[in-house]
Amino acid sequence: MHDPTTLSFLPPRLHPGLRSRSITAENPTGGKGAGGRTASMLGPGRKGRPCLTLPAGQTTTLADIDGPGRITHLWFTFPDHTDAVGFVLRDIVLRAYWDGETEPSVEVPIGDFFCCGFGARALVTSLPIVVAPTGGMNCYFPMPFATNARLTVTNEHPVDVEGFFFQIDYELSDHVDEHTGRFHAQWRRQNPTTAGLDYTILDNVTGRGAYVGTYLAITALQRHWWGEGEVKFYLDGDDEHPTICGTGTEDYVGGAWAFQDRLSADQEPRVLTFNAPFCGYPQRLTNDPSRQSVYATAMAPSHGLYRWHLPDPIHFATDLRVTLQQIGQVGPGIFERSDDVSSVAYWYQHEPHTPFPAFPPRDDRTPR
């Protein structure tokens, strides 16, 4: 299987069949010579249509591209205006369909796709996902397709979302290798998790593929340290025990010792967030992101973490299941926890893929 996960950018390919294109609100078809034509008060081609309005309750098609080719970059930004009517980052759903399929290969709340959990923005500086000030959301996962690529956003916010800016960069080519996998991303949530039962990040994946990343959004519903749970990868017929099993949640995302700045009983440690190319802990919320609660300081801490398996993709030949234990620690002892856990799994595989579980309705996605 050709591995599109290496993200080797340089030197650029100079194949004579490659052509670069880009879709924006001003050039919705990505047509050659069709960018920047809309007139504004400054005249023709002077920023006449830089963005869209997403009508409430409707699906907007951002891109419908005939291939072969591959999407190389996504960029989105819009006002999140988290308020009394909801959390926009959880209310807009991003979906992607490859090669005429009717079931999406990507189905994720737009904020979580870009590692912004809990309906709140975070600054993310990693290799495939970057969220820059203020809310410039970038994705560099290559997304190949043979005949067609279709990207949509569904606005399940109670009101229209105005000022939705976007750019979808892609390249067209003469062909896509038949062994190239298609990009997939799936969101799940369990609130609360069941004590003693591992949380499922991904399951029911069949066929050949490579797992390339995880985003976790964990709100601690109980006291004490929350991150002793191990991430497990069940590969190619694994049953009771996995082939790959880590040592703890913070270890999985490249951290250690509860992300503390010191291991000392003499001074209270601080928890440190961080961003790195392949792993990070960019989001630690200790207040109410809706900015409504007078009890904001009493909110349970929420933690956003990512791990990209790009230099080290997890290959599977027939099937894959990924889980996370919910284990905490008090002193030297560990205990089974129950928390609010959301996740995004990112992987490539040959199509067709198994249909995803029913996507949770808006009320079940709301941070609470």
| Domain limits, the chain | 4-41+49-365
Instruction: Decide if 1 contacts 350 (C-beta within 8 A).
Output: yes
Please name the residue that has the structure tokens 């992987």.
Answer: 347
Contacts with 140 (C-beta within 8 Å, 6 or more apart), sequence order: 7, 72, 73, 127, 128, 129, 130
How many CA atoms, within 13 angstroms, populate the side-chain half-sphere of residue 116?
Answer: 32
The H or E element spanning position 192 is none
Q: Can you give the pLDDT at residue 1? A: 47
Q: pTM here?
A: 0.94
Q: How far is it, in rounded angstroms, from Cα 96 to Cα 172? A: 17
Q: How far is it, in rounded angstroms, from Cα 258 to Cα 279? A: 15
Q: How far is it, in rounded angstroms, from Cα 278 to Cα 274? A: 11
Q: How far is it, in rounded angstroms, from Cα 87 to Cα 67? A: 35
Contacts with 240 (C-beta within 8 Å, 6 or more apart), sequence order: none
Q: Can you give the pLDDT at residue 46? A: 87
The torsion of the CA quartet 34, 35, 37, 43, rounded to 10 degrees, works out to: -160
Six token digits for residue 350:
């040959």
pLDDT (tens, 9 = 90+) of the chain, 368 residues, equals: 445 555 556 667 777 889 999 999 999 999 999 888 887 888 888 888 899 999 999 999 999 999 899 999 999 999 986 665 679 999 999 999 999 999 999 999 999 999 999 999 999 999 999 999 999 999 999 999 999 999 999 999 999 999 999 999 999 999 898 889 999 999 999 999 999 999 999 999 999 999 999 999 999 999 999 999 999 999 999 999 999 999 999 999 999 999 998 887 677 888 999 999 999 999 999 876 555 544 444 456 999 999 999 999 999 999 999 999 999 999 899 999 999 999 999 999 999 999 999 999 999 999 98
Peptide bond just before 200 cis, omega within 30 deg? no
Q: How far is it, in rounded angstroms, from Cα 285 to Cα 290? A: 12
Q: Can you give the pLDDT at residue 317? A: 97
Tally of CB atoms within 10 A around 309:
19
Instruction: Decide if 137 contacts 116 (C-beta within 8 A).
Output: yes
Six token digits for residue 229:
């749970």
Q: Can you give the pLDDT at residue 287? A: 72
Say which DSSP state 45 is in.
T
Say which DSSP state 249 is in.
H
Q: How far is it, in rounded angstroms, from Cα 78 to Cα 8? A: 30
CATH node for 4-41+49-365: 2.60.120.1390
Q: How far is it, in rounded angstroms, from Cα 209 to Cα 5? A: 11
Q: How far is it, in rounded angstroms, from Cα 53 to Cα 87? A: 17
Q: Can you give the pLDDT at residue 83? A: 61
Q: How buried is residue 101: exposed, middle or buried, by Cβ count under 10 Å (0-12/13-18/19+)?
A: middle
Six token digits for residue 274:
């961080």
